[in-house]
């Protein structure tokens, strides 16, 4: 199972489970996650979701085998767009427990959570420019809202990956755990599950309403789609696979 679902009293843990790929987010995994979240949203007994990754990593990006040959036209009708929108629309509190790598699409997923817990091994970043791309699921926008323009520009333009302590200091995460993030996230989920569920959902909705309106999410997505047709995207992915430095030509 690429998504492991564990039910607890009042909450549920969803574990991204593609350890051989460091839990890279392929379309099938995103679809399974969306289905699980829909079931959680419909179940009044479940008040909180914890999202984590298997074997010491959260999610080391999107699955580049799906991006490699994708064109801009295909990107415009990609079902992943609807999946990301469904994750954003999940009405109940969602906690991301981040240990190990949360890069690219994996970091974008963590940024969609309402609370992010970082363990000491966590490493987060948006390295898409090294592949001739940019974040395509709102990661750049959300990062700028949390960390500010200077730090978002630094991370997105350079592809810099930062450690847990830095991410917490920059306001990207809600909590910095002394041990595995999942342990703290599970405790936090139990506490939230004991609070008034309607109030939790109302609080989330009102807090996000203003933020979502201020983010240029469509602009970021359309720019990502245009880059799918470029030679630089092909060179970036080939270089990544060959473990060599890419030679970008601006085409």
Q: Out of 128, 212, 220, 247, which one is annotated catalytic?
A: 128
Place of tokens 């079931």: 39
Q: Out of 2, 108, 220, 225, which one is annotated catalytic?
A: 108
Residues with Cβ < 8 Å from 104, sequence gap 6 or more? 60, 61, 62, 125, 126, 127, 128, 135, 139
Give CA 74 to chain center in angstroms.
22
DSSP reduced 3-state for 97:
strand
Given a contact cutoff of 8 angstroms between Cβ atoms, the answer to whether 54 and 101 are in contact is no
Sign of the four-CA dihedral 192, 200, 42, 136: negative
Q: Is 108 a catalytic residue?
A: yes
Closest by CA to 165, choosing from 126, 107, 122, is 122
Round to whole Å and give the CA distance between 250 and 115.
38
Round to whole Å and give the CA distance between 234 and 69.
8
- Catalytic positions are 108, 128
């Amino acid at each position: 199972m690429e998504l492991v679902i564990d039910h607890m009293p009042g909450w549920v843990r969803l574990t991204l489970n593609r350890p051989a790929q460091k839990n890279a987010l392929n379309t099938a995994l995103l679809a399974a996650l969306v289905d699980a979240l829909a079931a959680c949203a419909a179940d009044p007994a479940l008040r909180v979701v914890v999202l984590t990754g298997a074997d010491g990593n959260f999610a080391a990006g999107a699955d580049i085998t799906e991006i490699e040959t994708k064109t801009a036209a295909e990107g415009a009708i990609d079902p992943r767009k609807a999946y990301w929108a469904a994750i954003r629309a999940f009405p109940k509190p969602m906690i991301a427990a981040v240990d190990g790598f949360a890069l690219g699409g994996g970091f974008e997923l963590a940024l969609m959570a309402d609370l992010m817990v970082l363990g000491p091994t966590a490493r987060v970043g948006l390295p898409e420019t090294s592949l001739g791309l940019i974040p395509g699921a709102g990661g750049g926008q959300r990062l700028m809202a949390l960390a500010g323009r200077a730090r978002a520009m630094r991370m997105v333009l350079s592809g810099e990956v930062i450690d847990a302590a830095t991410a917490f200091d920059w306001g990207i995460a809600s909590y910095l755990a002394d041990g595995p993030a999942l342990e703290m996230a599970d405790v936090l989920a139990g506490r939230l599950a004991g609070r008034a569920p309607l109030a939790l959902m109302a609080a989330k909705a009102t807090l996000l309403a203003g933020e979502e309106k201020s983010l240029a999410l469509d602009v970021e997505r359309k720019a990502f789609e245009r880059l799918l047709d470029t030679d630089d995207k092909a060179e970036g992915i080939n270089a990544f696979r060959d473990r060599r430095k890419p030679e970008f030509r601006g085409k």
